[in-house]
Amino acid sequence: MGSIVGLRCVRCGELFPPADMFEGCSVCAPETRVNIVPVYDEQEVSRTLSPESLSRRPASMWRYYELLPVDSEHCVSLGEGMTPLVACPKLGIHLGIPNLYIKDESQNPTGSFKDRLASAAISVGRRNGAQTVVCSSTGNLGLATAAYAARAGLDCVVLTTTASPPMMQMLMRSYGAMIVATLEKKQRWMLMKACVDELGWFPVSNYCQPLVGSNPYGVDGYKTIGLEICEQLNWNAPDVIASPSAFGEGLWGAWQGCVVARKLGFTQSLPRMVAAEVFGPLTNALQRELTDVEEVPSGVTVAYSVGSGVATYQALHALRESHGTAGRADDDALLDMQRLLAKTEGILAETASVLPLVLLAKLRDSEWIREDEVVVAVLTSAGIKDPVLIEDLDNEVPRVEPDLRKFKEALKEIYAFTC
């Protein structure tokens, strides 16, 4: 286990004893709602963690166990993490970024980066004697929580909304999770707070209003995204890491991983972080130079898993600290990019997951990114379970006769393909 010495507030730096704290910093509240992060004894970490020792460890996120909240022997794991960092030169040249890489989080056990959060949080929950875990989610986090709770032998309740995709609800049920829906998103948080306070259930996601962030031990799992990217680039930090952003916790975690890699002396530099959003709470906060993130109007989007009008303080902090930026993309651009990525590089992403690619093209056009820079886009989730793509099931596949001439004519007519 990592030697946690306390929980520190991202904003005011107050150090709290390591305990179950799921509602953020009590010093900063109610003025600003901000999460706390586990702090590890760096000397203790350095004793066993080195690029050399890592080279002999298993390919999962628990290879960095010194920097995670439970011992690797007691973790609840399905082999999450150490996902491929895929060089994408064809798409990169198309975007004007030849050194483009995709961190393919779709290859995690339930097909998204949320497996890191679920693995870390539920490991702590089981160690602390939890019987029931609870989370609020419309999709990927609920799915990850359902799977890891099953793995841990814990009961799992997922609070979702009536608008969550039936496909995701079906997948969560497959793992034995109990799913219930509220009419509005924020009603889930009210109910979840009661489950935590009165029933003693272990929370995986945020339940605070205004938003604080998810279980801090779980969010710590996202740190491994940054560590892995640096390790996979032979302990070089990229120039830019761009991530789809709803609450911005994956982005914040990846940034934390890069910061710790440099602190430990494994890398020499830090990346600029980019938040790719649909409705743009972080974009708005940066543009208007706000101290805290304000809610912006939100609605329906094909990028349903990041359709948030709110984001966390810590995500904004990561953007400022890294000299990064944020921007938005619209639905049409996302659908075009989803197809382009699949066709040029063979990677089918969830629609929300191509947000960074759309934004990176804009940032290259404006010279915010230089042509020679190494850029990593975090692909957060798999296209194979994307409700947007499932809708395409209604399109029937054209039928052909078993006749080569007619077959060639059909290819030409339907797909404009000559052979």
Using an 8 Å Cβ cutoff, are 141 and 168 in contact?
no
Q: How many residues interact with Zn ion (rule CB under 5 A)?
A: 7
Question: Across the strands, what pairs with 37?
Answer: 8
Angle between helices 249-263 and 313-321 (to 10 degrees): 40
If one asks whether residue 7 binds Zn ion (CB under 5 A), the answer comes out as: no
If one asks whether residue 36 binds Zn ion (CB under 5 A), the answer comes out as: no
Among 7, 28, 227, 260, binds Zn ion (CB under 5 A): 28
Shortest separation between residue 312's beta carbon and Zn ion, angstroms: 13
If one asks whether residue 414 binds Zn ion (CB under 5 A), the answer comes out as: no
**CB-nearer residue toward Zn ion: 9 or 276:** 9
Using an 8 Å Cβ cutoff, are 243 and 356 in contact?
yes
Among 27, 78, 264, 390, binds Zn ion (CB under 5 A): 27
If one asks whether residue 282 binds Zn ion (CB under 5 A), the answer comes out as: no
Among 4, 7, 25, 143, binds Zn ion (CB under 5 A): 25
Shortest separation between residue 335's beta carbon and Zn ion, angstroms: 41
Query: String of b and e for 75-107 (b: at least 16 CB within 10 Å)?
Result: bbbbebbbbbbbebebbbebbebbbbbbbbbbb
Verify cis geometry, omega within 30 degrees of 0, for the bond prior to 30.
yes
If one asks whether residue 171 binds Zn ion (CB under 5 A), the answer comes out as: no
Among 4, 7, 9, 259, binds Zn ion (CB under 5 A): 9
Using an 8 Å Cβ cutoff, are 380 and 243 in contact?
yes
**CB-nearer residue toward Zn ion: 25 or 329:** 25
Q: Give CA 139 to chain center in angstroms.
A: 12
If one asks whether residue 54 binds Zn ion (CB under 5 A), the answer comes out as: no
If one asks whether residue 349 binds Zn ion (CB under 5 A), the answer comes out as: no
**CB-nearer residue toward Zn ion: 11 or 116:** 11
Would you list the DSSP string of 263-278? HTTS-S--PEEEEEES
Please tell me the total number of residues recorded for the chain in this structure. 419
Shortest separation between residue 26's beta carbon and Zn ion, angstroms: 8
Shortest separation between residue 202's beta carbon and Zn ion, angstroms: 23
If one asks whether residue 411 binds Zn ion (CB under 5 A), the answer comes out as: no
For residue 261, give Cα distances in angstroms to 102, 230, 343: 20, 8, 35
If one asks whether residue 33 binds Zn ion (CB under 5 A), the answer comes out as: no
Shortest separation between residue 17's beta carbon and Zn ion, angstroms: 15
If one asks whether residue 37 binds Zn ion (CB under 5 A), the answer comes out as: no
Question: Across the strands, what pairs with 180?
Answer: 159
Shortest separation between residue 285's beta carbon and Zn ion, angstroms: 18
**CB-nearer residue toward Zn ion: 37 or 358:** 37
Region of 265 please: left (phi>0), alpha (psi -120 to 50) or beta: left
Q: Which of 67, 82, 1 is nearest to 37 (CA)?
A: 67
Among 2, 4, 7, 11, binds Zn ion (CB under 5 A): 11
Q: What are the residues binding Zn ion (CB under 5 A)?
A: 9, 11-12, 14, 25, 27-28
